Amino acid sequence: MKTFTTLCLALLAGSFSAFAQNNIGKKIQVIIENPWLIEKTDEPVVIDLHTLKTDFTVKSAFVSDGTSEVPSQLDDMNGDTRADELAFVINMPAKSKKTLTVTLSPQKSDKKYPARVYAEMLFRTSKKNKYAKGYAIYADGNANTYNIQHHHGVAFESELVAYRIYFNEKQTTDLYGKFHKGLEIEESQFYPTDKQLKQGFGDDVIKVNNSCGSGALRGWNGTQTTMIQPVAIRGQRILANGPIRTVVDAEVKGWQYQGKELNMINRYTLYAGHRNAQVDVIFDAPLTDEVFATGVQNITGHADMFSDHEGLVASWGTDWPVNDTVKYKKETVGLATYIPKKLVIKETADKENFLYTVSAPGQSSFRYYTTFTSCKETFGYPTKEKWFAYVQEWKKYLEQPIKIQIIE
């Protein structure tokens, strides 16, 4: 009888534990270390929820740094409506270590944090200047897709900068510069009115032409970049829309390239407090000997250029951002792209770009980064000397990642 009672109690305790976990949640400790001699501000932290031992679908999360709450977000990265990643940003002093507590819950929360980023996809409707918000779009690869979306493709921003990705064979990142820090795209829709311009809104700051703009991936034929075509299907989607980060995809299926047929996603992630976009290039099968290219636009063909010859390239130039040279003035921008050295084949250039060719044999993905500044910024880098100095420090920053340890 005693054995039976003990067994029942044990089963009851196990059931209660499971019930508690399923209804109250799960706490984990996240130890973050910055071993670098320089402070890291708004440093991204991403936790893969699939690596954690939870018996429930995570529907909300609470992150605390001692007595302070850390704004965070849960993101569905594969479209199944279930959270896959927890993301937040944190300030880490030089040579510091912090232990954060994360509480995961199966219950939804109505908690809302102030938005520090924003992403937008707008579909045209039958009514002039009326648009429908969207989250994904796919089209035949032979279709003329440039004008399907308002502002010609998905747009995303942080307080510092805004990007858009053209929904066509270019897939170029076009750039929106700001006078002041803040979110503007939802209100200006990338095309500010005269009234908004007088109020101090930013605007388009670059005419990308057929270049790679700032960090768009291109094909390579041995002498110059090539567009992402022909493809069977072309698509874009928003995976995350803040408040801490935006994640957007430019996707192609059936890209006929260098004798292969590739399915490829170019995933752009922009974090709060950042001007640089993280670019993940993802394939559905390992690469072999394919060669691609990326870098920065040689603005007007006469831009100033900086390169460290080891994966970092930057430019500085001035041009009219649009064809209307009466209403708009010339804009000066600084661009930069950083490719980890292990991916670099060689440094090169073509008519419109300063480039590196890249390859990742045996890998199904690779990552690089791109960034820019506009000379109109009251908080940015007003000269080429300051911009080129900044991007060298930016590369060092990226090469000194924080260390993350999770204790369940």
Give the mean pLDDT of the chain.
93
Q: Does residue 243 have a cis bond before it (omega within 30 degrees)? A: yes
Do residues 269 and 245 touch, judged by C-beta distance below 8 A? yes
**Quick check: helix, strand or coil at residue 384?**
helix
pLDDT digits (tens, 9 = 90+) for 21-30: 445 799 999 9
Residue 5: pLDDT band with limits 50, 70, 90 = very low
Q: Output the pLDDT for position 13.
A: 38
More confident residue, 324 or 368: 368
Long-range contacts, 188-191 (Cβ 8 Å, 24+): 189/120, 189/122, 189/131, 189/150, 189/151, 190/150, 190/151, 190/155, 190/162, 190/164, 191/151
Q: Output the pLDDT for position 295.
A: 98
Domain boundaries, the chain: 2-113, 117-404
Q: What class does CATH assign to 2-113?
A: mainly beta
Q: Output the pLDDT for position 4.
A: 40
pLDDT digits (tens, 9 = 90+) for 356-402: 999 999 999 999 999 999 999 999 999 999 999 999 999 999 999 99
Contact partners, residue 224, CB within 8 Å, separation at least 6: 350, 351
Q: Output the pLDDT for position 8.
A: 41
Do residues 160 and 379 touch, judged by C-beta distance below 8 A? yes
Q: Output the pLDDT for position 108.
A: 95
Q: Output the pLDDT for position 23.
A: 52
Q: Are the folds of 2-113 and 117-404 the same?
A: no
Q: Output the pLDDT for position 325.
A: 74
Mean pLDDT (whole number) for 95-120 = 97
Q: What class does CATH assign to 117-404?
A: mainly beta
Mean pLDDT (whole number) for 299-310 = 97
Residue 297: pLDDT band with limits 50, 70, 90 = very high
Phi, psi dihedrals of residue 224, rounded to the nearest 5°: -155, 165
Q: Does residue 106 have a cis bond before it (omega within 30 degrees)? A: no
Q: Output the pLDDT for position 1.
A: 40
pLDDT digits (tens, 9 = 90+) for 120-157: 999 999 998 899 999 999 999 999 999 999 999 999 99
Least confident range from 51-60, 66-75, 320-329, 389-398: namely 320-329
pLDDT digits (tens, 9 = 90+) for 179-189: 999 999 999 99
Do residues 170 and 208 touch, judged by C-beta distance below 8 A? yes
Mean pLDDT (whole number) for 105-117 = 96
Residue 322: pLDDT band with limits 50, 70, 90 = confident
pLDDT digits (tens, 9 = 90+) for 234-263: 999 999 999 999 999 999 999 999 999 999
